[in-house]
Amino acid sequence: MRLDAAALPYDRARATPGIVHIGLGGFHRAHMARYAHDLMAIDPDGLGWGIVGAGLREADRPLLDALARQDGLYTLTERDAGGETLTVIGSILRVIDASASTAALLDAIADPAIRIVSLTVTEHGYCLDRATRRLDMHHDAIAHDLMRPHDPKSAIGVIVEALQRRRTSGLPAFTALSCDNIRHNGDVLAGAALALARARDPALAAWIAREARFPNAMVDRITPVPRPTDAAALRSRTGIEDAAPLMAETFRQWVIEDRFAGGRPAWEEVGAQCVADVAPYETMKLRLLNASHLAVAGLGQLAGFTGIAEAIGHPLIRRHMEALMERETGPTLDAVPGVDLPAYRRSLVERFANPAIPDTVERVNADAPLNYLLDPVRERLAAGAGLPLLALALAAWLRRARGENEAGGPVPVHHPLAGEMRARAITGGPDPAPLLAMKALFGDLGADARLHAAVAPWLASLYEVGAIATLDRAATRGLL
């Protein structure tokens, strides 16, 4: 049985694009595209907010080709311990492979009907200097975009060139909406875009600052990387032929600052929260979910676990996560409107342990920026507070940078600085100093003697006895 738009709960032939999304991966298809689909089903105005999805990387081509063959349709399976729900998603109306040329992507954004350009490109896609978190003008893609601004390679270059074309044509600016797990993601995106625009033309930067909008947003949904066997499994289970199936947990959350240049979809009708200030929700998620995810994934991968549910199933890893949230990352939060924080912490443990979601430690370690741990470390140090549990999580990150687990098995390290990280990890061994000295990763924090003193004993223990025995030592000390 092939995917068919006739089965959708709306007339897809009446849908038109209002959004161009850059970074058409699994998370976007499980999150924003799902919200757009749901709105189309209940609100006729939602049909004017269809999505044109684009990929900038050569690695995106297989997915883009599969979606193009299926007219943008795909199945989303949402699972929890109680069962699963399967939905055919129809909100992606067109796909663009922009890996070789961004010309078609820029033409799509030039359509006056496009009022939002959204991104899910991970922190690496913003071409930031890792120490300053500002646009890195020496980044290869940014250097190219400055030399050839009308043929950009980076997502930032695409946004700036698209805004330049709108300005030249007398069209209104659009809203650039980050959907990445970056603290103050809209502000970061605005800073990068304005920096590149200023380098091109100060008048362009002034127009963008005045006319465009860059709202901050918090996104949340655990979405495992699709496996090669998923299509066959779906066909066997349901008879559906889908070359781009996707799986996600049932939970989803989207909190968006209500600052848009040309209107927005009524996403609040389908569960999103549109607020004046996203910061409390964003910090809550980054400190509790993302920092915990990275801690669990780092310790779990060293210990030889493959899945997040498998790792959190070990009682010592679970206790570390619970104690980390309660004693160290949680206390860095202010009150969050409408949120019961103890209940939120408990829900995270349950979500991580969801046996129906085959999320992997490798996926989390690949996607999770180090700043998930470093931001609360900075706040704890500034407050003169202890951080033994954060230090243990950071030690696991440093140990994993060696590229092997404690049994000597290979551990893929997906990071632009992976080669230097591995070399320094091997040089330092149980001494964290060589890695902490990497200013591109740690900035001035790496020179803080307090951090070195907190991390060094845990890193030595991870080398000496491994992750689980180190956690047992932490429990013996009353830390878990």
Task: Determine how β-strand 17-22 pairs with β-strand 116-119.
Answer: parallel
279-476 classified as CATH 1.10.1040.10: yes
Q: 342-371: per-residue pLDDT in tens?
A: 999 999 999 999 988 889 999 999 877 899
Taking the C-alpha atoms of residue 253 and residue 233, their distance in angstroms, rounded to an integer, is 28
CA-closest candidate to residue 469, choices 360, 329, 317: 317
pLDDT in tens, 57-92: 999 999 999 999 999 999 999 998 788 999 999 999
- Best CA proximity match to 152, nearest among 207, 104, 224, 95: 104
Assess whether the region 5-275 and the region 279-476 belong to the same CATH fold.
Answer: no
Q: How far is residue 456 from each of residues 42, 217, 383, 395, 459, measured CA to CA in Å?
A: 56, 36, 21, 8, 5
Helix (H) / strand (E) element for 471: namely: helix 467-476
pLDDT of 131 strictly over 90: no
Q: Which two tokens stand for residue 230?
A: 């998923």
Q: What phi and psi, each to the nearest 5 degrees, are found at residue 18?
A: -130, -10
- Average pLDDT, integer, range 24-47: 97
CA atoms of 168 and 171, how far apart (whole Å): 8
Q: In the chain, where are the structural domains located? A: 5-275, 279-476
Each residue's pLDDT tens digit, 228-282: 999 999 999 999 999 999 999 999 999 999 999 999 999 999 999 999 999 999 9
SS3 assignment, position 128: strand
Among 155, 261, 286, 217, smallest CA distance to 31 is for: 217
Q: Which CATH number fits domain 5-275: 3.40.50.720, 3.40.50.150, 3.30.470.20, 2.40.30.10?
A: 3.40.50.720
The residue type found at 149 is P
In the chain, what are the helix, strand and coil shares in percent, each to the nearest 5?
55, 15, 35
180 closest CA partner among 259, 330, 290, 271:
290
The single-letter DSSP state of residue 213 is: B
Edge-to-edge strand ranges of the sheet holding 253-257: 217-220, 253-257, 273-275
Q: Round the average pLDDT of the chain to a whole number and report it.
A: 95
Say which DSSP state 286 is in: I
Angle, helix 315-324 to helix 388-400, in steps of 10 degrees: 120
**Edge-to-edge strands of the sheet including 50-55?**
92-97, 50-55, 17-22, 116-119, 175-178
What are the tens digits of pLDDT across the range 438-463?
998 999 999 999 999 999 999 999 99
How many Cβ atoms are within 10 Å of 85's Cβ, its own excluded? 10
271 with 252: CB under 8 angstroms?
yes
Cα-trace Rg, the chain: 22
Give me the pLDDT at residue 367, please.
75
- Taking a C-beta distance cutoff of 8 angstroms, is the pair 102, 11 a contact? no
Rounded Cα–Cα distance for residues 180 and 126 (Å): 10
Q: Give burial (CB, 10 Å; 0-12/13-18/19+) of 272.
A: buried
123 vs 12 pLDDT, higher one: 12
Strands of 81-146, DSSP E: 83-89, 92-97, 116-119
C-alpha 66/C-alpha 55 separation (Å) is: 13
Q: Is the pLDDT of residue 382 over 90?
A: yes
Task: Give the C-alpha separation, 136 to 158, whole Å.
Answer: 16
Residue 98, by phi and psi: left (phi above 0), alpha (psi -120 to 50) or beta? alpha
